[in-house]
Amino acid sequence: MANESGTVGWFKLFQNGQHYMKTWPADKRLAPLFPENRVTTATRFGIRFMPPLAIFAMTWQIALGGQLGPAVATALFACSLPMQGLWWLGKRSVTPLPPALLSWFHEVREKLQAAGQALAPVEGKPTYQSLADVLKRAFRQLDKTFLDDL
């Protein structure tokens, strides 16, 4: 995951971002507390619509006899937007949880274990990816009152 200097490679960061985007529960009650809902929505939108927009911008400029430079710059910018979202999500996924969220993370894990769910032990410092995994499982297996403590 991380190399010897403790950093994650850019390709792995994009993979982590994609995995984090798929794991994070899209529950509207989390939106006021976490930017993940907005970032994942914008990134999914960008992945779906920015490549066609880039192609349209290129063909429109070429068809009208415009300059190729601005068309290429517009296309590159449009294609970079979803990559920025994946990069942010990837960085966020490997970020250790702050102390306030750490205690809540452990409370949700305890509720899952009390409900009879088998959980793997936490290795190292819990990250936002760990939180996403626990929240996704909690939304599936627990009643929605576990969010009241947040």
Q: Give the tens place of pLDDT for each residue, 37-63.
A: 999 999 999 999 999 999 998 898 888
- 82-97 pLDDT, tens digit per residue, is 999 999 999 999 999 9
> For residue 96, what are the β-bridge partners?
127
Burial 91-126 (b: 16+ CB within 10 A, else e): ebbbeebeeebeebbeebbebbeeeeeeeeeeeeeb
Q: Is the pLDDT of residue 6 over 80?
A: no
Helices 99-114 & 128-141, crossing angle to 10 degrees?
30
Sign of CA dihedral 142, 112, 95, 90: negative
Q: Give the separation between CA 5 and CA 51, rounded to whole angstroms.
A: 34
Q: Give the separation between CA 84 and CA 64, rounded to whole angstroms.
A: 30
